């Protein structure tokens, strides 16, 4: 009788812990994708450092969880926004998306090369967090002062494809989905306001995350990854996409820009924390 009583309480405690963990991952997907859909950040830029901080999964698994969650967000966001009056530059955004897909293959190859050759995901994690922090600081300064910086209206398709290639390479290597890089690039090369750039960023992210998932499916498959939290995060991503796309339709460009900058600043601080913890 005592053994049965103890066994019941051990299982009960384990189940309660699993519920709490599932709730945390659902909220990460929900928060990241709500802000991601609203400010064009995508969500991966938030998901990756948060999952790094939790420390439950390796870098490769985090990449798959992030890609699937962000892809679900991008899908529902585009469905919600298809009848809105927001400006989606489909041709140029599609060219960037194609470049991002090509760059994504290169970036993923570089990531796998460094993981295999360095033999330590910890070192790669420190490199990722450090590079990401530098990039985000540059983007934060640019977005904060973009009204005083000369922007362009690039029309050369080769240049646009090349920009997408660089964005895809960096995003895939850093495992972030490309959101803030996309927004900054769209503002800089097409002189978009932050609100329009955020919507076009989601359009680009849809294709880049789809290609990332197809690459995993066609190469290693998903069996080697611990995806126990996948559907919990995807559920959060779907709801976040619906909520975030409603916000972006109703809020002013100024509020979207402020949301983008505040979120970016918090992500920079979180990355600094991750670097310190990984080094320590």
User: What are the tokens at 124?
Assistant: 């790669």
pLDDT at residue 248, as a whole number: 86
Task: Tell me the pTM.
Answer: 0.86
Residue 187: the pLDDT is: 93
Question: Would you state the pLDDT for residue 110?
Answer: 80
- pLDDT the model gives residue 179: 86
Mean pLDDT by 10 residues, the chain (280 residues): 52 75 95 91 86 86 91 92 76 90 84 69 78 90 88 92 90 80 92 90 88 84 90 95 90 90 90 82
């Amino acid at each position: 009788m005592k053994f049965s009583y103890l066994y019941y309480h051990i299982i009960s405690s384990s189940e309660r812990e699993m519920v709490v963990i599932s709730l945390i991952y659902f909220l990460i997907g929900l928060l990241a994708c709500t802000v991601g859909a609203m400010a064009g950040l995508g969500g991966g830029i938030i998901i990756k450092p948060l999952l790094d901080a939790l420390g439950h999964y390796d870098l490769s698994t985090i990449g798959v969880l992030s890609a699937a969650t962000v892809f679900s967000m991008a899908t529902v966001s585009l469905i919600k926004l298809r009848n809105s009056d927001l400006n989606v530059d489909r041709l140029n955004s599609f060219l960037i998306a194609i470049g991002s897909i090509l760059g994504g293959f290169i970036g993923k190859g570089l990531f796998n090369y460094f993981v295999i050759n360095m033999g330590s995901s910890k070192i790669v994690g420190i490199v990722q967090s450090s590079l990401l922090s530098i990039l985000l600081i540059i983007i934060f300064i640019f977005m904060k002062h973009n009204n005083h910086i000369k922007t362009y209206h690039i029309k050369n398709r080769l240049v646009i494809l090349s920009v997408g290639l660089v964005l895809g390479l960096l995003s895939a290597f850093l495992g972030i989905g490309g959101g803030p890089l996309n927004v900054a690039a769209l503002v800089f090369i097409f002189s978009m306001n932050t609100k329009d750039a955020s919507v076009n960023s989601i359009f680009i992210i849809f294709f880049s995350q789809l290609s990332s998932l197809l690459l995993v499916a066609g190469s290693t498959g998903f069996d080697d990854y611990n995806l126990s939290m996948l559907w919990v995060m995807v559920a959060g991503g779907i709801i976040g996409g619906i909520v975030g796309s409603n916000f972006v339709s109703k809020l002013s460009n100024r509020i979207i820009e402020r949301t983008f900058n505040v979120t970016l600043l918090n992500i920079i601080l979180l990355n600094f924390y991750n670097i310190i913890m990984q080094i320590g």
